[in-house]
Amino acid sequence: MPARAYWKGQIRLALVSIPIEVYPATRSGAAIAFHQIHEPSGQRIRYEKVAPGVGPVDRDEIIKGFEVSKGSYVLLDEEEIEAVKIESRKTLELVQFVDADEIDVLYYEKPYFIVPADDLAEEAYTVLREALRKTRKVGLGQLAVRGREQLVSIKPCGRGLVMEVLRYADEVHKAQGYFRDIEDAKPDADLLDLATTLIDKKTAPFKPAEFHDRYVDALHRLIDKKAKSKSNKRILEDVEEPVSGKGNVIDLMAALKKSVGEGKPGSKSASSTRKPAAKKATSSGGRRARTRA
């Protein structure tokens, strides 16, 4: 367990208080950090703080400002900002409970593990965990930490509890604005059957370790090659040929049938199914989709 907790305090439910410690449940993934380099000299580019008409300025002369109109700022010093920060209370009060599926996935931001602070807290901790599991509810509360107040949810996770920081309503875009122009029409039943068959065929347990960032892997290979070559000669990594966004217009029914039949002994080839499928799609309204050939 990490030596430093993100937050320490207590969960309070009515008159019951449970001492807890909160630890991050995630860490940053693999990433490649680049610096900007002046190619002729090989020196790293540095940045100076400058003011127009003044030139470089000292760090002590810099103050924060909020732009209220074009070129007009309200200036705030650190003491003023610190004065309005919310005091980091040591109590997370569960003020409401909701159904587990009632919170839209868009609101979830970052997970944390909650563990009992000591052996004495474990009994009440276990009772809360099992009560949430039995009722299939999620607890909601607000946590003051590092000067800000966060909306959080608490739910069971294996033997323990997980706290998830939630976004506030004004941080989430309304989906209607993006989906408004999509027709609310029922798809062809045969097409739907083929699509669900394909989903069933590709359904498997989720194993996150099987997925990794291929872009980062390729960058590591490129950096290793250039480091070993000890030269600045350009090396172009082999990548898959990019697929044009303008694919051929093919029959959706034929494409789904081909996808479902891949790898099955005795399945018809694409050439033997393409023509009949095209006739069927035309007779049901001529549905065609733009997909990759």
**How wide is the angle at C-alpha 96 spanned by C-alphas 93 and 102, nearest 5°?**
135
Domain assignment present for 232: no
Exposure class string for 134-144: b at 16+ Cβ within 10 A, else e:
eeebbbbbebb
Domain assignment present for 74: no
- Do 97 and 13 share a structural domain? yes
User: What are the residue ranges of helices labelled H in 24-100?
Assistant: 78-83
- Do 128 and 18 share a structural domain? yes
> How many structural domains is the chain composed of?
2
Q: Is the distance from CB of 74 to CB of 66 less than 8 angstroms?
A: yes
Domain assignment present for 54: no
- Do 98 and 138 share a structural domain? yes
Query: What is the residue-level pLDDT of the chain in tens, covering all 293 positions?
Result: 556 889 999 999 888 899 999 999 988 777 788 888 888 888 899 888 998 889 889 888 899 999 989 989 998 888 888 877 776 678 899 999 999 889 999 999 999 999 999 999 999 999 999 999 999 999 999 988 877 889 999 999 999 999 999 999 999 998 888 888 888 888 888 888 888 888 888 888 888 788 777 778 788 888 888 778 777 677 665 555 445 545 555 677 787 778 877 545 444 444 444 444 444 444 444 444 444 43
> Domain of 139: which CATH number?
2.40.290.10
Q: Is the distance from CB of 151 to CB of 165 less than 8 angstroms?
A: yes
User: What are the residue ranges of helices labelled H in the chain?
Assistant: 78-83, 119-135, 176-179, 189-201, 214-229, 252-261, 270-283
Domain assignment present for 193: yes
Residues 6 or more apart whose CB falls under 8 angstroms from that of 72 comprise none
Domain assignment present for 41: no
Residues 6 or more apart whose CB falls under 8 angstroms from that of 102 comprise 138
- Do 198 and 128 share a structural domain? no
The conformation of residue 180, written as its DSSP 8-state character, comes to: T
Q: Which residues face 116 on adjacent strands?
A: 20
Q: What is the pLDDT of residue 154?
A: 97
pTM: 0.65
Domain assignment present for 143: yes
Domain that holds residue 102: 7-26+85-171
- Do 196 and 135 share a structural domain? no
- Phi and psi at 194, nearest 5°, equal -65, -40
**191 CA to centre of own chain:** 31
Q: What is the largest CA-CA distance in the chain?
A: 78
